[in-house]
Structure 1
Amino acid sequence: MAQELWQAGDAYEAYVGRWSRPVAREFVAWLDVPAGRSWLDVGCGTGALTAAALATAPAGVVGVDSSMGFLSVAGARAGFVAGDACALPLSDGRFDLVVSGLALNFVGDPRRAAAEFGRVCRPGGTVAAYVWDYAEGMAMMRHFWDAAVALDPGAAALDEARRFPLCRPGPLARLWADAGLKGVGTRAIEVPTVFAGFDDLWLPFLGGQGPAPGYVASLPAGRRAALRDLLRERLPAEVDGSIRLAARAWAVRGHTTVDR
């Protein structure tokens, strides 16, 4: 069984963190939040969404993550707290906005996490999140798992598209509504992911951070090389060797009730 690790912040940045930053900026623009608001970023990881929140001139930003390795590279302009999304170590109604980027599907109990997001948000505040569209829109991962399954049908059980049905607009909207949030809306956010060459795409899969890199780490050298070669063959390379793909995330937002 492939082991999933979420500790090496630098390896995560090379793998997918670099693509989460433009998504975070688009997400924050969609929220259209005035300056001077207080933010909580749950599952803040290496700080992509935290950085986007800081660009709004907030009253303050707090980031929470269970990985000390990620928190160590998240930066110093916000306050960071080690904690569990399903049991936030924070008081009720403390924040104007509670947000989460690319983390909700990895928590132990998303329903409990959504309830916690609402608990620590002030009455009438905003609760919002986004996750990768693993089924279709996150192209680098879609190409990877399609190649992996072609060589090893058993890899299908590890594919995020199969494991995380939450990562679609309908399930996200239902999760928010079930948490008692009002005015729930969703949208797609798509950004380009341009790789300088095959190595720029492939080498981060060797870093061990997350399901796909964890699967690669579990393979013997021969099978790893076969996967590398098939993926290289299938990817749409340009004349200059660059690989131009796209990454889509699904975002959801809602508001806590004023009279709770």
Structure 2
Amino acid sequence: MAHEVWADGAAYEAYVGRWSRLVATEFLAGLDQPPGLRWLDVGCGTGALTSTVLARTDPARVDGVDPSEGFVAHARTRVADPRVVFHVGDARALPLPDAAVDVVVSGLALNFVPDPARAVAEFARVLSPGGVAAAYVWDYADGMTMMRYFWDAAAARDPAARELDEGRRYAMCRPEPLRALWADAGLRDVSVRPVEVPTVFAGFADYWTPFLGGQGSAPGYVSSLAEPDQAELRELLRARVPTEPDGSIRLTARAWAVRGIAPARPS
């Protein structure tokens, strides 16, 4: 089985980071939080959501936490603001005290945490009463079409590739499992909504080249293939993805966004 790697920030940006920034903007618009709050970005990765929080909400402070030293290093170079502090850390044991923040967000990361229920319990712990906990994850099973085309083509030539397909592996990336995670953590007024953005590729090379970067399941699978097998998969994909007369490839990316409110603490 191909090994899933998340360490190279630049390669991640070329693969899905550029689309995650679009989703982050739509996600934050739906949260509609006032300025001057204390934010925590869990699984901050290369800083896409953190930078959007800065641009859109005028926060008092943002802490970003991610287990990847490479991603955190990349985030520190791209987000230069005295209100932001990035930490290498674990979502299951957040390096903040109780009731330390007003908003906890997590973008495209929760499905990679080995124990997501423990992570969401940590979200609730660090929130002040009435604070908001919200996250979004790709709809791998259906709505993240750049990956859907990839895995359907990969499985057509290699049935073993189905076991690496995120749509099969991440059952929590659907509305009801997300709703249950939030409710089980004691968060109230839980809601789930879709967030969809366009993913437009200039041409097939713009679509295919990011799969060569080694970051994530699909690129990891490509890197495990011998060159003739890579070429066969590439040409199968070229034949399958919908291409406009100008050569562009116009797809969409859908994420599921969940939010809930921290209850008042017992006196």
TM-score with structure 1 setting the length? 0.99
In the alignment, which residue of structure 2 is the partner of 1:225?
231
Match of 2:116 among 99, 107, 110: 110
C-alpha deviation, 1:124, in angstroms: 1.1
Q: d(CA) in 2 for partners of 1:42 and 1:259?
A: 22
Mean alpha-carbon deviation: is it higher for 90-99 or for 66-75?
66-75
In the alignment, which residue of structure 2 is the partner of 1:76?
80
CA displacement 1:112-157 (0-9 Å, x = unmatched): 0010111111111000000000011000000000000000001111
Which stretches in structure 1 are left out of the alignment for 5+ residues? none
SS of the residue 2:234 aligns to: helix
Q: d(CA) in 2 for partners of 1:15 and 1:70?
A: 14
Mean alpha-carbon deviation: is it higher for 83-92 or for 247-256?
83-92
Task: Write out aligned runs for 1:17-56 (5 A).
Answer: 17-55=17-55, 56=57
Which stretches in structure 2 are left out of the alignment for 5+ residues? none
In the alignment, which residue of structure 2 is the partner of 1:121?
127
Q: d(CA) in 1 for partners of 2:124 and 2:97?
A: 11
CA displacement 1:171-207 (0-9 Å, x = unmatched): 1001100111000001000000000000101000000
Q: d(CA) in 2 for partners of 1:224 and 1:122?
A: 50
In structure 2, give the amino acid aligned to 1:16.
Answer: V
C-alpha deviation, 1:23, in angstroms: 0.4
Q: d(CA) in 2 for partners of 1:38 and 1:98?
A: 9
In the alignment, which residue of structure 2 is the partner of 1:67?
68
C-alpha deviation, 1:76, in angstroms: 2.3
SS of the residue 2:221 aligns to: helix
Q: Percent same amino acid at aligned positions? A: 66
In the alignment, which residue of structure 2 is the partner of 1:96?
102
- RMSD (Å) for aligned C-alpha atoms: 0.7
CA displacement 1:7-39 (0-9 Å, x = unmatched): 100000000000000100111110000000010
In structure 2, give the amino acid aligned to 1:239.
Answer: P
Q: d(CA) in 1 for partners of 2:122 and 2:234?
A: 41
C-alpha deviation, 1:72, in angstroms: 1.5
In the alignment, which residue of structure 2 is the partner of 1:57?
58
Q: d(CA) in 1 for partners of 2:47 and 2:74?
A: 8
Shift >4 Å, 4+ stretches: none
Mean alpha-carbon deviation: is it higher for 66-75 or for 222-231?
66-75
SS of the residue 1:87 aligns to: coil
C-alpha deviation, 1:52, in angstroms: 1.4
In structure 2, give the amino acid aligned to 1:14.
Answer: A
TM-score with structure 2 setting the length? 0.96
Pair 1:215-2:221 in alignment: yes
Task: Write out aligned runs for 1:160-199 (5 A).
Answer: 160-199=166-205
SS of the residue 2:74 aligns to: coil
Q: d(CA) in 2 for partners of 1:51 and 1:121?
A: 21
